[in-house]
Structure 1
Amino acid sequence: MAAETDASTIGPATRRPASLSPAMETDAEKLRFIEEMTKNVDAVQERVLAEILGRNAESEYLTNCCLAGAIDRATFRVKVPVVSYEDLQPYIRRIAEGDRSPILSGSKHPISEFLTSSGTSGGERKLLPTVEDELDRRKLMSSLAMPVINQYIPGLDEGSVLCFFFAKSETMTPGGLPARPTLTSYYKSDHFKNRTDGRYKICTSPLGAILCEDAFQSMYAQMLCGLCQRNDVVRLCTVFASALVRAIYFLQQNWEPLATDIETGVLNHRVTDPSVRKEVGDILGADLELARCIRTECSKEDWAGIITRIWPNTKYLETIVTGSMAQYIPTLNYYSGGLPMASIAYASSECYFGLNLRPFCDPSEVSYTIMPNMAFFEFIPMDGNGDTSQLVDLARVEVGREYELVITNHSGLNRYRVGDILRVTGFHNMAPQFSFVRRRNVLLSVESDKTDEAELQRAVERASSLLCTFDAAVLDYTSQACTKSIPGHYVIYWELLLTRVPTP
């Protein structure tokens, strides 16, 4: 039977055994760490800034700012300007072309690679410098997520996670440094390959399948291994909700050859990558009963609840459903039979920022508690017309106000405008909690009006409610501004999902 879990009733466990097992004590330590970091935010921020400025003091960039070895906050604010990517691009280009002098970071912490952002600058993808020990901070943040979730749904260490993770292609800069997406960097790191912190890390997807850059082979292998271990799976995980929807689509299109592989114990010939074939071969075995089950469930016209029909012990979905990913919530509710969804972390190529300490709240109420040990954070008030002279510290933001996020990280980005607009929703201890509002300058505009992605999402949700009587829902959408007619207008393109297949 599928786990029946109502997201509206999930709350943290209030009773714990008098004596904790070693595993539970590890969780307790992580939770205590969160409490410690969020109780004296300003002191933690002071220490983090001093650490960053101390290690990067010799860098050309900070030297040009005339800090003269000062590591206090007041001098930093006066001497170091607020910048955008375009301001740093000349420094970044020199590093990419092979200049190994301490340009942005100190000589003891040289730039080790570039993380590629989904955004562009001047038609080029952004190259965001990072240092080797940044992975340690990201690993620390990742290790905090499951202890938080386990307060709400215990026993997750007794099963496996069906994750759909995908490494993307990478390039080398002229100076010989890798340039790749953030997650690809993590998947290829020793932190991921040799992860041993993990009773929550038992993943059905073999490493070779995750690292395979052929999209079909990677998805096929991960789906096949997830099916072979269907009764062990207690949670499904993708980074973004769109990837989980894409995985279910893939199952719809390929369940017949997948079932054949399971029936015969022989991997499909379309999977040609040697490492993938070897690792999948270690998992795949002939299983007539499982093949019959997959054919029975997937051949039905109605795919409502297909996730819990195929993976009956699934307790929740772990994926980001905030921001532009909110559009996939109705589709995931349909496919999962209403399983809870947890958007646990807020991160970007520049930095990992915070955690959702109420992971099973309604997606519209998701707020992230900023962890003050990750970087030095400042905020530009949006009601001040973006005036960068009015920046406020993390400990001094106000509930209800919107701010643009500015970070100083260990990799040499100093007072860098990330471009995210956040709204303060409350506090956990002394640490502010933020909801994501939108990306700066991500707007539709016809003539003088401005429509951001949140407004567009709400409009689509209201309009799509009319489709219910037709047994259809909006699966995905995109938009553009049209000025061919007067007055100008927006054109919205919908991709529809039929929730009931019409009989011929």
Structure 2
Amino acid sequence: MLLWPLLLLLLLLLLPTLALLRQWRSQDAKLSWLAGLQHQVAWRALGWAATWQRRKLEQSTLYMHQSQQQALRWCLQGAQRPHCPLRGSTDISTFRNHLPLTKATQTQEEESREQLLPPTSHPDLGEASLQATLLGLVALNKAYPEVLAQGSAACLTLTSPWPQSLPWPGKALGRVSTPGTKDPRVLLLEALRSPGLRALEARTAVELLDVFLGLEADSEELAGAIAAGNPGAPLPERAAELREALEQGPRGLALRLWPKLQVVVTLDAGGQAEAVAALGALWCQGLAFFSPAYAASGGVLGLNLQPEQPHRLYLLPPGPLFIELLPVKEGTQEEAASTLLLAEAQQGEEYELVLTDRASLTRCRLGDVVQVVGAYNQCPVVRFIGRLSQTLSVRGEDIGEDLFSEALGRAVGQWPGANLLDHGCVESSILEWGRTGGAEGTGLGSCPFTGSMCAHGVCSQILLWALLPTTRCLWS
């Protein structure tokens, strides 16, 4: 009679082991289960860290004046100038009087674009990048819940769009791309082998544009590598899908390659708007674009907490970088007017960003122009509308990039069936300088598109040039 209770007890003890053996009947199933567990733990850790960073952001944006005073104090403490007269002082007026505004040289601007976020040695700058990454990941996951699931995202460039790398949590989130890969071609091949992707990542939109152009140029070589299993197992059916998708042209290519794709993630900076527009009109048509932050060589300047917004909006945080706002109308003059603090920004107004470099203690006009569209506590929410330093001189005129783009858009609107995807600007040698009239001997007059004095026919020349068959990829 005692035998049956003993057998029953033994069976009860073996049931958990049998269940585990059944679940782990293959190595793949075991690895999949462990990866799923790691993914859940990583997201919980990220969620807790993001909640803490959100509380810190709330506190700093509620008391903007104190936060900017602290940022100014941090800048002055790190100054490398000998005998700095501002050490120990955080008076804004004294700071402005001793440090005049300077403009970034062309060399500095080029270096800034090449290196958006250099390695940050100070913990405050590193924490700002971490804050942008954590809050950006949570905001993206809230807007598109499936894009950050295990194996749903792939980075196509060597550098990630997220300002701060997350070694363990980032790896546990199950990115398709292999960490530490040095060859961008390998990254593209790994992404092409995964038709279930929901998010594409690239450091900037300009770099992603290069990736798609390279994909079209090397399509047969890439398809051959996938079919032969380099890297990974041979996937001849996937190679055939790649060839078929490319044969239909660039428009909507991303969704043909990855039917579940929802969003493209890139890091925003000056000069990226045109690339985003070109990608959205052709290769990434129908997809949303998200940038976790607006960055420059000095660090993170703005945080994007609203991925669902069609126009990228950024919250200008009060620190650790000391940021000032220069009214554009007055700032375009040689002797600029006084700058404003972030809390003094007025909705609807346009400002040029001024960033203080901590090492050399210089107040640099970045040339990036923003428009205030709202507020978060006492912190301004802005959209970037262009750069003051970028002007066009095609036939002797001097037109701002934003003004020219607006004029070209109006010109395209008068051309039935034409849609502007991207544009370039070159001087035409076809038309003689004075042929179009205007002021005698100059060819200058009131442009019908810009409304200002410029070389007649400039906008129409560019429009005609862009409609040539050689530029068919830019127009529809």
User: Any residues of structure 2 matched to 1:373-392 within 5 Å, and which?
Assistant: 373-385=319-331, 386=333, 387-392=335-340
- Partners of 1:39 and 1:304 lie apart in 2 by 45
Which of 135, 151, 158 is matched with 2:142 structurally? 151
Aligned to 1:479: 425
Match of 1:225, SS state, is helix
User: Structure 1 pair 323/347, CA: closer, same or farther in 2 (3 Å)?
Assistant: closer
Aligned to 2:303: 355
- Partners of 2:327 and 2:97 lie apart in 1 by 18
Match of 2:170, SS state, is coil
User: Structure 1 pair 126/416, CA: closer, same or farther in 2 (3 Å)?
Assistant: farther
Report the TM-score, using the length of structure 1 for normalisation. 0.68
Match of 1:243, SS state, is helix
- Partners of 1:393 and 1:333 lie apart in 2 by 37
Aligned to 1:70: 89
Is 1:256 aligned to residue 220 of structure 2?
A: yes
Aligned to 1:241: 205
Match of 1:83, SS state, is strand
**Counterpart amino acid of 2:178?**
P
- Partners of 2:116 and 2:377 lie apart in 1 by 36
Aligned to 1:227: 192
Check conservation: 1:444, 1:480, Cα contact below 8 A.
Answer: no
Which of 176, 190, 198 is matched with 2:170 structurally? 198
Check conservation: 1:31, 1:147, Cα contact below 8 A.
Answer: no
Aligned to 2:61: 38
Which of 145, 165, 169 is matched with 2:157 structurally? 165
Deviation by residue 1:180-200 (Cα, 9 ceiling, x = unmatched):
xxx89x99xxx64x7224278
Deviation by residue 1:160-197 (Cα, 9 ceiling, x = unmatched):
32222247xxxxxxxxxxxxxxx89x99xxx64x7224
Check conservation: 2:395, 2:427, Cα contact below 8 A.
Answer: no
Is 1:132 aligned to residue 116 of structure 2?
A: no
Check conservation: 2:420, 2:475, Cα contact below 8 A.
Answer: no
| 1:297 shift after superposition | 2.8
| 1:265 shift after superposition | 1.4
User: Structure 1 pair 201/381, CA: closer, same or farther in 2 (3 Å)?
Assistant: farther
User: Any residues of structure 2 matched to 1:314-353 within 5 Å, and which?
Assistant: 314-319=261-266, 324-328=271-275, 329=277, 331-353=279-301
| 1:228 shift after superposition | 1.8
Is 1:306 aligned to residue 253 of structure 2?
A: yes
- Partners of 1:477 and 1:383 lie apart in 2 by 27
- Partners of 1:38 and 1:475 lie apart in 2 by 38
Match of 1:230, SS state, is coil
- Partners of 2:395 and 2:240 lie apart in 1 by 58
User: Structure 1 pair 21/141, CA: closer, same or farther in 2 (3 Å)?
Assistant: closer
User: Structure 1 pair 404/411, CA: closer, same or farther in 2 (3 Å)?
Assistant: same
- Partners of 1:161 and 1:481 lie apart in 2 by 42
| 1:384 shift after superposition | 2.5
Q: Considering fraction of residues, name the structure with more strand.
A: 1
Check conservation: 1:82, 1:417, Cα contact below 8 A.
Answer: yes
| 1:293 shift after superposition | 2.6
User: Structure 1 pair 449/262, CA: closer, same or farther in 2 (3 Å)?
Assistant: closer
Check conservation: 1:350, 1:418, Cα contact below 8 A.
Answer: no
Check conservation: 2:294, 2:303, Cα contact below 8 A.
Answer: yes
Check conservation: 1:116, 1:349, Cα contact below 8 A.
Answer: no
- Partners of 1:306 and 1:389 lie apart in 2 by 48
Check conservation: 2:67, 2:318, Cα contact below 8 A.
Answer: yes
- Partners of 1:302 and 1:446 lie apart in 2 by 32
User: Any residues of structure 2 matched to 1:286-297 within 5 Å, and which?
Assistant: 286-297=234-245
- Partners of 1:33 and 1:258 lie apart in 2 by 46
- Partners of 1:155 and 1:496 lie apart in 2 by 35
| 1:45 shift after superposition | 0.8
Deviates more, 1:348-357 or 1:409-418: 409-418
User: Structure 1 pair 355/260, CA: closer, same or farther in 2 (3 Å)?
Assistant: same
Aligned to 1:177: none
- Partners of 1:22 and 1:235 lie apart in 2 by 22
| 1:37 shift after superposition | 2.9
Match of 2:384, SS state, is strand
| 1:369 shift after superposition | 1.0
Q: Which runs of 5+ in 1 are unaligned?
A: 1-19, 90-114, 168-182, 213-217, 267-280
| 1:465 shift after superposition | 5.1
Aligned to 1:80: 99
- Partners of 2:395 and 2:283 lie apart in 1 by 40
Check conservation: 1:224, 1:258, Cα contact below 8 A.
Answer: yes
Match of 2:266, SS state, is strand
- Partners of 1:295 and 1:205 lie apart in 2 by 22
User: Structure 1 pair 67/243, CA: closer, same or farther in 2 (3 Å)?
Assistant: closer
Query: CA RMSD, aligned part only?
Result: 3.7
Match of 2:110, SS state, is strand
| 1:475 shift after superposition | 4.8
Match of 2:351, SS state, is strand
Size of the alignment, in residue pairs? 397
Check conservation: 1:41, 1:395, Cα contact below 8 A.
Answer: yes
| 1:42 shift after superposition | 1.6
| 1:236 shift after superposition | 1.0
| 1:420 shift after superposition | 1.6
Match of 2:309, SS state, is coil
| 1:452 shift after superposition | 1.6
Deviation by residue 1:432-468 (Cα, 9 ceiling, x = unmatched):
1222232223212478964221222223334445777
**Counterpart amino acid of 2:121?**
E
- Partners of 2:306 and 2:131 lie apart in 1 by 19
**Counterpart amino acid of 1:391?**
T
Of all paired residues, the percent bearing the same amino acid is: 24
Check conservation: 2:115, 2:297, Cα contact below 8 A.
Answer: no
| 1:149 shift after superposition | 1.9
| 1:427 shift after superposition | 0.9
